[in-house]
Each structure stands twice: as C-alpha cells, then as structure tokens.
A and B are shown apart, each in its own frame.
Chain A
Amino acid sequence: MNSGYALSLSDISCTFISRDNPGQRYTAVADTTLNIAPGEFVSVVGPTGCGKSTLLNIGAGLLEPSSGTVTVHGEKLVGINKRAGYMFQADALMPWKKALDNVIAGLLFRGVEIPIAREHGIAWLARVGLGGFEDRYPHQLSGGMRKRVAMAQTLILDPDIILMDEPFSALDVQTRQLMENELLELWSEKKKAVLFITHDLDEAIALSDRVIVLASGPATHPIGEFPIDLERPRDVAEIRNQPHFTELHSKIWDVLRDEVLKGYVQHKNIVEERTQ
C-alpha cells in the first residue's frame, strides 16, 4: 500500500439504492482513483450533480463506498476521517452557539480544556478577520462572516487534510476572492493537503496545484488531470489576467465543456420527465 499520500481513494464506486424502491439504483461514482500528496492543493471540477460531493463525503468517512478503499496517510479509513477537516457548502454552524463557541466546539469535543480552547478560538477569530465578533450568534453575521467562522472552526483543529465542498459558492464575487486569498495564505503557512470541490473552473485553477475534471453523472469518474504550474504566492484576482492562466483555462475547458453540456441535457430530461 502506498503510504506517500495524505489521502488516497482507490477504485472507488458508490451506488445508492432507493429506499422506497430497492430495484432502483443510482451509481454516483464509478472506478475512481484519486491521490493527494501531503501539502498538495487539488481541485475537482465537474458539472453540477455529477457526484463531486459524494466523492468528498467518502474521503471524509461520512459515506462508505460500495467498493474500493480509502487510505489516510497509509492507513485504511474506518468511520469518520479524524485527520480531515470539512468545510461544507451549506451553513453548518450551530445557530445556538456564539461565534467563539462554534469555533472552539471541535476542541471541546476533543477534550481540550475550556480556557485554553477559548484562547485559541479568540486568536483564530482574529486571524480570519473577526476579532471582536466572539459573542455574535450566526444569525447576526453576514454570509461571508459565517464562512470565516466555519473556516476558523475547521482549521483550529489543525487537520492534515482539508476537504472543501464549494465553500464559497454562496458568496458574492468580491467577498469570494477575498476569502480565496485568505485561504491560500492560511494554507501556505501550514501546507496541508486540500481537496477542493467546485464547479467554477476559474476558482479551481487560481487555487490549485492540480485540477481534476470529472465526467457528468451518473457513474462519474475522472476524465482529465491538469497540473497547474502557476507561480505562488498567487493573488486570485490578478492571476486571471496572466496569459498562462488563460491557456490552462481553455485547455481544461475543452474537456469540461462536453461534460457540462451532457450534464445539462440529462438534467433537462430529468426535469421534463418529472413534469410530464
């Protein structure tokens, strides 16, 4: 078993069986192998609904694959992936906890004492630009601020692997670019392995060391892999103007476009079937 990878999914397939009708099956992911080295920033792009999140949930240990194995730093994954942090697409903060209590929740679950956890939490909130907002409840924060809290909540645990599921997709473009730069900055300090899911190719190229393109579902699998050899440190807003960025973009888009079209047609058919 190759232990060089931080996270390794090998020959993963994932089939869902309909609860109401056991005869109905849906294969979300088929025969997918995905390796991420320690310190590597990998993005996975693909059309909407192709099974990107399924892949991430398997890496997180929230979902067990139908076949194939997941290894984390060489060890077979059983149950929740304790070395991974997960940033969700949807709001996942506990609405009944203040910002600080949300940030330190993971530390408390792991048995860290409250005063120490609070100290860390305050430092982390300041680090994501929310110093002074410790006592706010999530509903008192804007969408961008909630994402920052979620980022602090995940990163305070210092995970070896960071899984991100379109974490910034709900933000406006300006806030998003700010957050992307902040993410790169935090990542470059510690160089964790990152698996970043997005449907935005620009975002994927700007952030990653490697971009993987997934086929449209069902039974999605990687159909292309592109190393991104843009220099670091990067500024996500400026990097888009570099000629090499545009080059990479068109190269990847060539592969992605067909899949997006396929995904779109499938989606349309499903909607039409349902409405008929």
Chain B
Amino acid sequence: MNNKLLRVWQIALVIIILSTWQASSMLSTKAAFFFSNPIDVAARLVSWFFIDLDIYQHLGVTLIETLLAFVIGTILGLLVGLWLALNQRAAAICDPFLKALNAMPRVILAPIFALWFGLGIASKVALAVTLVFFIVFFNVFQGVREVSPTLLANARMLGAGRNDLLRHVYLPSAMSWVFSSLHISVGMAFVGAVVGEYLGSARGVGYLILQAEGSFDVRSVFAGIVVLTLCALVLDTLVGKAEKRLMRWQPKIGTTEKI
C-alpha cells in the first residue's frame, strides 16, 4: 500500500468515527449526555484556545511540571544509576529497597506529596519524578553494566583513568540506554503531572478535567483529553528529534557498513 492510499484510509477512519459519534449523540439524549459530541468538543477547544484564552495558563502549568519532573528525574536517575552500577557493594545493599520502591504503585504517593508540598506545582513534580527516576535509573544501571569488557580494557590500555572512563565510556554507554527510554520517561513525566493535578490542585489541565467532571461537563472532559493527547504527541516528536541528533553514532538498519 503506498503512502497516499494509507493517508486516505486514515482520514476515512477518522471521519467514520467522528460521524458515528455525532450521529449517536443526536439520536439518543443519554448518549449525548455521557459522550457529548464532536462538534461541541471542537467548539470548546476553539473557545479555550482562541476566544477565552484560559487554556494557556493551565497547559503552561502542566508542561512546566512535566519538564521539571523530566529533568530532575533524569538527572537523579543518571547519578544514582552511575553510582550504584560502579559500586557493587552499595548496589547489593540497595537492591531490595529499590525493587520494593519500584514495585510500589507510585500514584498512592500523591496524597502524601500533597500534604508535604502543598497543592502547587511541587507536589506534582515530586510524583512525576518518582515515575521518571526509576525508568532512567534502571536503564543507566543496565547501560553501565553492559559496557563491553574489551572496550573497557582498551580504554584502560590507552591510559584512561577513573574519570576518563566515566566520561568517555560509562556515561556515553549509559546515555544510549537513557535515550532509548526517553519516550517512555517523557510520557511518564506527563502522566505524573496530570494525575497529580487530578488528585488535588488549583491549576493545570488535570484540574480543568476534574472541574469539568464535577459539573458533568462531558464536552470539556473530552476537550481536555484531546489537548493532553496532542501535547503528548508533540512531546514525543520533540524527543524523537533530539534522539536523532544526539545518537548519530548509533547504527541504524540500512546504514551499517557504509562503503
């Protein structure tokens, strides 16, 4: 199937879904109440973005939370991952605790974070950090452990000291694993921020959805979902671009063994 045909099918599918949605909400008042309809949802989106302009502050807050959580979680995961991977004894001591923390459903931390950090940005960032941290941590840990012994021996023979090994061997190897998990960790940061808002906040897209739900404003709930989905897609695209730029050294299928 060529690309054009593919595109036609995809657009057709969207039209079918939207028109079925619209038609069923026109036929049944129950459906109209629980599902709203695409036209109303679109109108809501237009008023948020172009008329009332009130979505921006909420979206801004959610994005700031996501970004902060992502950066803090990645840096913490990187540092702790490097430290534990290079320190066998510490890793052995910490192992059961890390496993337990990772197994714990992190969302239940939201109430305690709200208590500690208040209803502002900090509690959401804290929740999202706990999600991002473990993804990055486990990947860095793996990345350092998987450095080929030959590569290490070679670097040592070339005269690399401990710091050189860290900077030129362990860190780049770990980074390749971090980047491969970047899509997941950005997504998790976003989830953490929105769930945190949903569980208690005064601003953010999660808060917006919570408010709408409280007043049975189904079209705003749907509009919020659309906004979040689009945001997640944009974030994912940005990550893909960054990955492409920074991971040029990695072979891609079809480009190996050139010349």
Residues of A within 8 A of B (CB): 57, 60, 62, 80-82, 84-86, 88, 90-98, 105-106, 109-110, 137-142, 153-154, 157
Chain B residues, Cβ within 8 Å of A141: 257-259
Assembly CA distance A122 to B258 (angstroms)? 21
Q: Interface size for chain B: under 10, 10 to 19, 20 to 34, or 35 or more residues?
A: 20 to 34
Indicate if the CB atoms of A139 and B251 lie closer than 8 Å: yes
B153 & A88 in contact (Cβ 8 Å cutoff): yes
B158, CB-defined interface residue at 8 Å: yes
A249 CB, min distance to chain B CBs, angstroms: 31
- Residue contact B153 to A94, C-beta cutoff 8 Å: no
**Would B159 and A82 count as touching, CB distance under 8 A?**
yes
Is the CB–CB distance between B148 and A60 below 8 Å?
no
Smallest Cβ-Cβ distance to B173: which chain A residue: A96
| Partner pick for B256 among A84, A97, A98, A139, CB 8 A cutoff | A139
B47 at interface by CB-CB < 8 Å: no
Q: Does B118 contact A (CB under 8 A)?
A: no
**Among the listed B159, B161, B176, B256, which residue makes an inter-chain contact with A106, where contact means beta carbons less than 8 Å apart?**
B159
Q: Which of A84, A98, A106 is packed against the most chain B CB atoms within 10 Å?
A: A106
B200 interface contact, C-beta 8 A: no
Instruction: Please provide the 5 A-B residue pairs with the shortest distance between their CB atoms, ordered closest to farther.
Output: A106-B158, A92-B154, A139-B251, A109-B159, A96-B172
User: CA separation between A44 and B202, bound complex, in Å?
Assistant: 75
Task: Tell yes or no: B116 within 8 A of A by CB.
Answer: no
Interface string of B217-259 (1 = CB under 8 A from A): 0000000000000000000000000000000111100011111
Inter-chain pairs besides A94-B172, A96-B172, 8 sampled, C-beta below 8 Å: A81-B157, A90-B150, A93-B154, A94-B169, A106-B159, A109-B155, A140-B257, A142-B259
Residue of A nearest to B161 (CB): A109
**B157, A60: Cβ atoms closer than 8 Å:** yes
Residues of B143-172 contacting chain A, CB below 8 A: 148, 150-151, 153-161, 164, 168-169, 172
CB neighbours of A140 from chain B (8 A): 251, 255-259
- Interface contact A157-B158, CB-CB below 8 Å: yes
A137 touches B248 (CB 8 A): yes
What would be 14 A-B contacts, judged by CB atoms less than 8 Å apart? A57-B153, A62-B157, A90-B150, A93-B151, A93-B154, A94-B151, A97-B168, A105-B155, A105-B158, A105-B168, A109-B160, A139-B251, A141-B259, A153-B158
Q: Chain B's nearest CB lies how many Å from the CB of A152?
A: 12
- The smallest beta-carbon distance between B142 and chain A, in angstroms, is 16
- Binary interface encoding of chain B residues 25-60 relative to chain A, with 1 for a CB under 8 A from any of its CBs, else 0: 000000000000000000000000000000000000
